[in-house]
Amino acid sequence: MLSTASTRVSRASSGLPVQRPSPARRCRQPARCAAAATADLQQAAAGAGTEALFQPLTIGDVQLKHRVVMAPLTRCRAIGGVPPAITAEYYRQRATEGGLIVSEATCVSPTAHGYPCTPTLYLPESLEGWKPVVQGIHDKGGIFFMQLWHCGRASHADYQADGRPPMAPSALPIVSDMKVMSPKDYQWYEYPTPRAMEKHEITEVIASFGQAARSAVSVGADGVEIHGASGYIINQFLNSLANQRGNEYGGSIENRCRFALQVVESVCEAVGSAGRVGIRFSPFGHYLMTPDPQTYPLYTYLLSELNKFGLSYVHLVEPRTDDLPLAAFHNVSGSSARPDSLAPFRQVYGGTLIAAGGHKGASAANAVQGDHADAVAFGRYFISCPDLVRRIALGAPLNSYERDAFYTQDEKGYIDYPVLEETPEG
């Protein structure tokens, strides 16, 4: 299985007082404490130059109290697809009043898997495992969207119940230095040549996204985010280098966008409101895939079509960090910076735009202040800083993160990062 060897996380050398997160500490008057905490953060942010991040924002049907978003972060701790008890504590530590948390990528069906120990939304025991996660976030006034995921060709026959190769738009393998880990022997293998999906399988996968969305809502999630990025199945349909179908799902840009748009339609119908549905893309992503040769025309068309839905948001990964987070899983480096920009997409898409791009507090505030994005998602620093929102508001140093603990199965590097000391309220 994945190595459970990990080193204890590095501690910030800032000189600021820190303590371990306390699962037991609760405010005796949650509403008053939450309101006071929000006001305190807004005041502190003005002094730190990050006040743009601490303004309210409406995203579809949901009202946020600040614009620091926790990005989806695969952590590989859900043995058997079931979130363990420590997962509830992990998310609870990072929840804030009116703050959006997007869950780790969550498999929509048995064919969706491509990594070991990732959670699902189709097993009854998984749904039970998600309930305390949602409750813990809501207890702190947080907003929780669950990310819906299908790996497509980024998988292996060992993940498939029938032992067949994984499905994809076309029978074209991933061309990459990265490899896939088998869930049976936990060894690394070349990505296999996938099998091209039959028409009925396309219909079934679209429906599975909708069913997963229903399941997410049933356990109390406030909404869902569709994973359309990072070389997974929606990204595969979009990209002409991975999709060489000759029917209505391949060829032209319009046809290659059809699958993504039908998934969005299925999910919106399942949730009951497009205002509780977001979607994530990585237009310039090199993770498991070379970007489409017509990146700008492709995503300009796609975003113009998404304008018609009234989604909660579109979440775009910026070019300089499109493939860094999961590159560590494969023990390779992410791609270097490129001159591409999200600006043309900002001009096309009229709804809420969340940007993710390796930001820290000041750069994120500048992105919002300069209308580059409406909110900014943080990944690795949300791993190492359970109190990241407060640290950004205070301008406090950030804990370093421990890559070796990103994908292990224990508490180290998961729920043991330090937080700044607080004066108990209430």
How far is Cα 105 from Cα 226, in angstroms, rounded to an integer?
Answer: 9
Q: Is 232 a catalytic residue?
A: yes
- Report how many helices (DSSP H) and strands (DSSP E) the chain contains, helices first: 12, 16
Which of these is catalytic: 90, 191, 232, 381? 232
CA separation, residue 328 to residues 10, 58, 335 (Å): 18, 34, 12
For residues 169 and 227, the answer to whether their CB atoms sit within 8 Å is no
CA 260-376-287 angle, to 5 degrees, is 50
Cβ count within 10 A of residue 424: 10
Stated as kind and residue range, the H or E segment containing 420 is strand 419-420
CA 203 to chain centre: 24
Question: What type of residue sits at position 219?
Answer: V
Structure tokens at 46: 């003005």
**Looking at the DSSP assignment, which residues form a beta bridge with residue 146?**
224
Cβ count within 10 A of residue 263: 27
For residues 249 and 259, the answer to whether their CB atoms sit within 8 Å is yes
CA 336-342-344 angle, to 5 degrees, is 140
Q: Which residues are catalytic?
A: 232
